[in-house]
Amino acid sequence: MDHTRSSKLTWLLIAIVGALTVCPVLMLVLGSFSEGLTAFGDFTTDKYVEVYTDPAFFEVMLNTTIFVLGSSTLSTVLAVFLAYLNTRTDIPFKFLFKIISIIPMMIPHLLFSVSWALLLNPSNGLINLGLMEAFSLDNAPFNIYSMWGMILIEGLLDLPIAYLIIAPAMASFDVALEESSRVSGASSWRTLFRITLPVLRPAILAAFILGVVRSLASFAVPSVIGMPGRVQVLATHLYEMIATGFATDYGKAAALGMSVLVASVTLIVVYRALTAESEKYVTIAGRGFRPTVIELGKARMPLFFVVGVLSFVLIVLPVAVLLYTSFVPYSMVPSARAFSMMSLKHWHDVLSDPISLLSLKNSLFLAVVGATLGVILSIFVAYVIVKVKTRASGVLDSLSYLSFSFPGIVIGVGFMWFFVQTPLYATIWALLLGYIATYLPYGIRPMSSAFIQIHSHLEESSLVCGASPLTTMRRIIVPLLVPGIVSGWILMASMFVRELTLSVVLSRPGTEVLAVQILRFSEDGLWGRLSALGIVMIGISTALVVTATLIGNRFRTV
Amino acid sequence: MKKLFAALFVVLMAVQAHAQDKSLLDRARTEGKASFYANITAIEPILKAFSADTGVKAEYTRISTSKFVATAITEFEAGKLMADVVQAPLPVLDLLKARGVLASYRSPAAAGYPDWTKKDDRIQLFGIEYVALIYNKERVKAADVPKRYEDLTLPKWKDKIVMANPANHATTISWLIGLKENVFKSEADWRKFLAGLAANKPMFVASFGPTPAPIESGEKLIGISMPKYIVTKAPAPLDWARVSQPMMGTPRAIAVTSKAPHPAAARAFVDYWLSKKSMDILAKDVGEYVLAPGVYPPIDGISKAKVIAIRELSDDEIQKWGAEFKKIFDVK
């Protein structure tokens, strides 16, 4: 694409993405500097002074740092491990592993956390009870209500995001680089650490950074696991600020949220600096791109066993707990009595409830239409970020993270303050635009990882042969981007099916969505209905993932 | 003769009220619907009954207490408040009243309610978000059930209690202050109770909603929670401790908004909401403690319990006491 066109495209995208993401953040900035409870009031800096001089602030930040770095490291390491085995080796049942490595994303985080509390709470957690009986222990060996529990659960929840960013890059990796290393006498481990991982640095860093930003904004794990364990992190500190009293000052919460925004933008700048020379990471050029499979040999079955155990712990246990809870009349430890009391009552209640059914319809619409529009926008944004690489494209990159970086419980109010000034307020379109604006990085990151690995020679050759830029995009770039597109679409669609933080503020009669309905059940303590609707949600997400994967496979073979 | 005049007067008033009702309902039907913002839950049966009985549709938007004021004021100031009727804890409606969000309306349906429930010409109280000690009746022996709130400080309850976070949950903060003002003889006794409760290391959750599940499952044995879960979570083995001291809770209030898009439907809805029929549904289906005379939730012993409304605490007080409880309960 020539310079003028690139420049026009960049500025057009800055205008679109900026309109989507800057407006709510701007409203929050105004609110943080305004007296009173709305975005418009007399100027004051009191809210900043109050928030940042709070004696609890430093302990909260220390806990937050440990939690965020711990969970992001865990999710990234696990994602690299799973992605490598799935995409590069001859490990058996690959399709199954691919699906199970993304299922945690489909489970509402609240339910996932509650399931783990049922398994590992120190009073009567099922795993603890089993271990105490098996080893004649007096005390429960594990206490999920702790920092390590929070890191474990958040790490598992963020694993799919990391996996969907790293796997496409791993799939597009030119194995000739590794072969050259081995031919030169390097061992497999040396090749892994000196060739494979460094070449995948942009994808790994992107996954890690997205994990950091996500866990900074996460509320379910700090609330369900951290609060009972009295481990306070930024999200619960913010919640305390919002929940104490009736005249909630979201401006004050926004003032605190600004530090998260600054941290996130800094991370993005660091990421761009670390991956500045993107040509180093190009592995699909015009010649000999062929992803090949590495034979695991004797390690095949032991590694399969490790992944199997991981998958069981990640997927089977929490989903089994959900299924079980949806059949028993109230929260009960499994027993003969509990099984004798099972019924379909919660399922009947949920499936005959008109609001639950309307929520299902709305969430499905938002997932399919929202993810499709989001992915189309993400393709262009990722192209500009990776291939145009001007200062303006750096601005675009940072803009795309703006809403995403803000803690969830605050950004929803920013959107409300913004949309209430427009005719879109209280419509499904406000939700659609809010979702795309907030979760744009879910589309952009996998696409960027994929773009980084496509050499500009391919594009140039097409243009030299007389194809227009759009034809080049359609015939050359997009087919090579299919793994990234599928990943981006799955990430966005699954997120939109379970999106809560914006929906809880923007949803109104007629625009109810699944996650808000689930929250209602949770607030009423109706765990049975909540689990039944949660399983419906997982079913929808699974159907979307399978469909997207099948369509992706079809396009790849064309 | 005087009696005859009095009877005539009553009949005339009734006829006039009926005519007014009819005219109000006719206008409400023309308007088509009433939009209701509320933090109270599981009220769909009342909305359904209202639509069936009046022909006016009721639209319910559930807004949590922490987002209520922000949402209502933001919409009101932008001229887009969609609510015709608002329901929330009394302090929330007081804040909205101060901003001019509430209209003046004294519902004829509140005639039989106690005088103290008629706060002013704008706000009507109809229930109390009552709090009690809820326990697992299969795991706690009858002899062990607390007889007084102080019993919760006994060492046998260590690591067996669940409660909403006393550092930030407004209703729990108000309840603890209610104990100080209505139950304990001196502040020293009250502080001793707090210290004993804290020493038993209760498990904290975000609100009342997550309190019953750990009690049902046996993860914890007792909690500071709401008796209404005995109704909504049946057949879970939950019961409430009949302590010798009064039960307390924050008053629930309702009002019409000053710029209601459907003003007649709003008034018709409030009238219906305060009627005995609605209060019966609220008590029987949802387990709420309502203030309509003679209506009680179907929970054994509740009709004999003394339930009092906690004094309204200002936001400053809630924040001050939240910070104090944070220290006492070692909330990190």
Tell me the CATH number at B142.
3.40.190.10
* Residues B176 and B312 grouped into a single domain: yes
- Could you tell me which of A72, A433, A80 has the C-alpha nearest to residue A271? A72
- Could you tell me which of B310, B261, B312, B205 has the C-alpha nearest to residue B75? B261
By Cβ distance, the residue of A332, A420, A524 closest to B74 is A420
Domains and CATH numbers, chain A: 3-557 (1.10.3720.10)
Average pLDDT on A219-237 reads 88
- Would you call B68 an interface residue with chain A, using a CB distance cutoff of 8 Å? yes
Average pLDDT on A213-236 reads 87
State yes or no: ipTM above 0.85.
no
* Residues B23 and B91 grouped into a single domain: yes
- Name the residue range of residue B110's domain: 2-126+250-301
* Residues B101 and B61 grouped into a single domain: yes
Task: Give Cα A208 to chain centroid, integer Å.
Answer: 11
- Would you call A338 an interface residue with chain B, using a CB distance cutoff of 8 Å? no
Instruction: Mark yes or no for CB contact B319/A244 under 8 Å.
Output: yes
Instruction: Mark yes or no for CB contact A59/B332 under 8 Å.
Output: yes
Which backbone phi and psi does B298 adopt, to 5 degrees?
-80, 60
- Could you tell me which of B87, B84, B91 has the C-alpha nearest to residue B27? B84
* Residues B55 and B117 grouped into a single domain: yes
- Would you call A329 an interface residue with chain B, using a CB distance cutoff of 8 Å? yes
* Residues B178 and B316 grouped into a single domain: yes
What is residue A40's predicted lDDT score, i.e. its pLDDT?
72
Is residue A286 pLDDT above 50, yes or no? no
pLDDT band with cut points at 50, 70 and 90 for residue A284: low
* Residues B286 and B201 grouped into a single domain: no
* Residues B191 and B244 grouped into a single domain: yes
The 3-state DSSP composition of chain B as helix, strand, coil percent (nearest 5) reads: 45, 20, 35
Mean pLDDT of successive 10-residue stretches along chain B, which has 332 residues:
56 53 85 93 89 94 86 90 94 93 95 90 95 96 96 95 92 94 95 96 90 92 96 93 95 96 96 95 93 94 93 88 92 69
By Cβ distance, the residue of A228, A246, A421 closest to B65 is A246
Interface A-B, measured as beta-carbon pairs within 8 A, has a size of 147
How close A247 comes to chain B (CA, Å)?
A: 6
Is residue A498 pLDDT above 70, yes or no? yes
The Cβ-side half-sphere exposure at B238, using a 13 Å CA radius, reads 31
Residues of B in contact with A425 (CB under 8 A): 78, 80
* Residues B147 and B282 grouped into a single domain: no
Query: What would the DSSP string read from start to end of A60-84?
Result: HHHHHHHHHHHHHHHHHHHHHHHHH
* Residues B162 and B241 grouped into a single domain: yes
Residues A353-406: pLDDT tens digits?
A: 888 999 999 999 999 999 999 999 999 999 888 887 778 888 888 888 888 877
Residues A128-173: pLDDT tens digits?
A: 888 988 898 888 899 999 999 999 999 988 888 888 888 877 876 6
Contacts from A419-427 at CB under 8 Å and sequence distance 24+? A419/A506, A420/B74, A420/B75, A420/B78, A420/B80, A421/B78, A425/B78, A425/B80, A426/A506, A426/A508, A426/A511, A426/B80, A426/B82, A427/A511
* Residues B16 and B135 grouped into a single domain: no
What is residue B142's predicted lDDT score, i.e. its pLDDT?
94
Instruction: Mark yes or no for CB contact A246/B169 under 8 Å.
Output: no
Q: Which residues pair with B87 in a beta bridge?
A: B38, B254
* Residues B322 and B199 grouped into a single domain: yes
- Number of structural domains chain B divides into: 2
Task: Name the average pLDDT for chain A.
Answer: 84
How close B15 comes to chain A (CA, Å)?
A: 37
Q: Which residue of B has its CA nearest to A521?
A: B209
Asked if A311 contacts A97 with a C-beta cutoff of 8 angstroms, the reply is yes
Instruction: Mark yes or no for CB contact A420/B211 under 8 Å.
Output: no
Rg (CA), chain A: 24
Which backbone phi and psi does B33 adopt, to 5 degrees?
-155, 160
* Residues B35 and B60 grouped into a single domain: yes
Token pair recorded at residue A480: 């090579």
Residues A426-445: pLDDT tens digits?
A: 899 999 999 999 999 889 98
How close A231 comes to chain B (CA, Å)?
A: 6
Distance CA B265, CA B256 (A): 10
What is residue A558's predicted lDDT score, i.e. its pLDDT?
46
Task: Give Cα B116 to chain centroid, integer Å.
Answer: 15
Question: Judged by CB atoms within 8 Å, which residues 59-78 of A form the interface with B?
Answer: 59, 63
How close B84 comes to chain A (CA, Å)?
A: 14
- Would you call A119 an interface residue with chain B, using a CB distance cutoff of 8 Å? no
- Would you call B177 an interface residue with chain A, using a CB distance cutoff of 8 Å? no
How close B42 comes to chain A (CA, Å)?
A: 8
Residues of A in contact with B331 (CB under 8 A): 230, 232
Distance CA A242, CA A261 (A): 18
What is residue A287's predicted lDDT score, i.e. its pLDDT?
47
Helix and strand totals (H; E) in chain B: 11, 11
By Cβ distance, the residue of B64, B318, B330 closest to A245 is B318
Instruction: Mark yes or no for CB contact B204/A37 under 8 Å.
Output: no
By Cβ distance, the residue of A121, A244, A509 closest to B60 is A509
Q: Which residue of A has its CA nearest to B159?
A: A123
